[in-house]
Amino acid sequence: MRQNTAAAQKKTREVCELAPIMPVLVVRDAVNAEPLAKALIAGGLAALEVTLRTPAALDVIAAMSAVPGGVVGAGTLITPQDVRDAKAAGAMFGVSPGATDALIEACLDEDLPLLPGAATASEAMRLLERGYTTQKFFPAETSGGAAALKAIGAPLPQIRFCPTGGVSLSNAKDYLGLSNVLCAGGSWVAPETLVSAQAWSEIETLAREAKQHLST
């Protein structure tokens, strides 16, 4: 059943409010999906973004979606087919670096809550015009960082953001301290090197560190 934008955005906001950091995950082998999800959830990070950048991504989403306590989303949604594939794999929300009308319509048709990306005030306003009050600020650091996001927030207080791109443990508080930020996306809590090495205890420690250090 087609979702309306307001209901979908309510779900998106709820996902963003689960934890201060949303892990951005690049997983190349689906065998690592379940233990990775368990490690991150045990560390206190329940909202997981699996990027569609590897051939295994949809299988990873399917495996992670079966792990209790997590809310698994598909990142890097670009086309309507990406949306359909992600939803069929079990994704509970979607994330995109930008937004197109076709992508937005596909997410509404598939009842997949969307966190659409914006990097400028004009992009944010176009999304707001369509009812999107929760957006991704991407690429955060190269778009001016926390200072830019604070400036955008002044005339657009209706919008809350999840900054992603260049966010790390060292600068995440700069973003999370802003009144227009709900959470931040970061890859440092589960870098590819640790995932490939199946270093689950180290990843759990990084997740717990992020949750404890960055929770307000």
Q: What is the largest CA-CA distance in the chain?
A: 46
pLDDT for 203 equals 98
Helix (H) or strand (E) holding 161: strand 160-163
d(CA 104, CA 83): 9
Torsional class of 165: left (φ above 0), alpha (ψ -120 to 50), beta (otherwise) = left
Torsional class of 111: left (φ above 0), alpha (ψ -120 to 50), beta (otherwise) = left
Return the structure tokens found at 16: 């963003």
Yes or no: say if 195 and 32 are a contact pair by the CB < 8 Å rule.
Answer: yes
pLDDT for 214 equals 86
Q: pLDDT tens, position by position, for the chain (216 residues)?
A: 677 999 999 999 999 999 999 999 999 999 999 999 999 999 999 999 999 999 999 999 999 999 999 999 999 999 999 999 999 999 999 999 999 999 999 999 999 999 999 999 999 999 999 999 999 999 999 999 999 999 999 999 999 999 999 999 999 999 999 999 999 999 999 999 999 999 999 999 999 999 998 885
**Strand pairing class (160-163; 184-186):** unpaired
Return the structure tokens found at 138: 């991407």
What is the reported pTM?
Answer: 0.96
pLDDT for 1 equals 60
> What are the φ and ψ backbone dihedral angles of 135, each rounded to 5 degrees?
-135, 160
Is 136 considered catalytic here? yes
pLDDT for 216 equals 58
Please identify which of the residues 38, 136, 204, 211 carries the catalytic annotation.
136
Name residue 47's amino acid: A
As a 3-state breakdown, the chain gives helix, strand, coil percent values, each rounded to 5, of 45, 15, 40
Return the structure tokens found at 64: 């992670």
d(CA 88, CA 177): 36
Is 49 considered catalytic here? yes
Q: Which domains does the chain have, with CATH numbers?
A: 8-208 (3.20.20.70)
d(CA 84, CA 62): 13
Please identify which of the residues 11, 38, 49, 87 carries the catalytic annotation.
49
